[in-house]
Amino acid sequence: MATGKTTIGQRLAARLNRPFFDLDALICARAGRGITAIFAAEGEEGFRRWERAAFEGLEPACPAVIALGGGAVTQASIRAALPQGVWISLRARLETLRARLSEAGGDRPLSRAEESLEALYARRAPFEEGAALTLHVDKGSPSALTAQIIEALCAL
């Protein structure tokens, strides 16, 4: 959440000449409503069902860049599919996330949940250990961060 997955993903896809898919946008299109509305009506469990279905419905004809929602990796079925590609985790310090969420106006349901941001961060962290690359995104422009990813991909 608030690490720049969509912005960096779009730039990476353009640089690699690959299609880009934003899982959150696909969920909203399929559900016909926004993420906040899905959470309000169905809770996190309902949202995760939508997320799983959208991910499982992705069958790009060629390699693609896919921006997963921050909690997608907590789902075993999604994690199981990640080794088929190169999984890149974007990480930021809690202070950075708080600042970005505040700037965005708090439109993230889980950022307003009873669970603190620290607890959410800690709960998700172990799931992200399987990433081929972890990029810390506290500093640097989206262009510079995209260039770092390209450089790391070339080294892989």
Domains of the chain, residue spans: 5-155
Q: Which helix (H) or strand (E) holds 55?
A: helix 35-56
Neighbour count for residue 108 (Cβ, 10 Å): 20
Q: What is the pLDDT of residue 106?
A: 56
Q: Element (H or E) spanning 101, and its range?
A: helix 94-103
Could you tell me the sign of the dihedral formed by the alpha carbons of 33, 35, 36, 41, in that order?
Answer: positive
CA 74 to CA 144: how far, in whole Å?
28
> CA end-to-end span of the chain, whole Å?
26
Topology of domain 5-155 in CATH is Rossmann fold (3.40.50)
Give the H or E element holding residue 150.
helix 142-155
- C-alpha 74/C-alpha 89 separation (Å) is 13
User: pLDDT at position 114, please?
Assistant: 47
Where do we find the tokens 């930021």? Answer: 92
Element (H, E) at 48: helix 35-56
- Give pLDDT, residue 129: 83
Per-residue pLDDT of the chain (156 residues), as tens digits, is: 789 999 999 999 999 999 999 999 999 999 999 999 999 999 989 999 999 999 999 887 789 999 998 889 989 999 888 878 899 999 999 889 888 887 866 565 655 554 577 888 888 888 888 889 999 999 999 999 999 999 999 998
Closest CA to 146 of 3, 40, 13: 13
Return the SS3 of 67.
Answer: strand
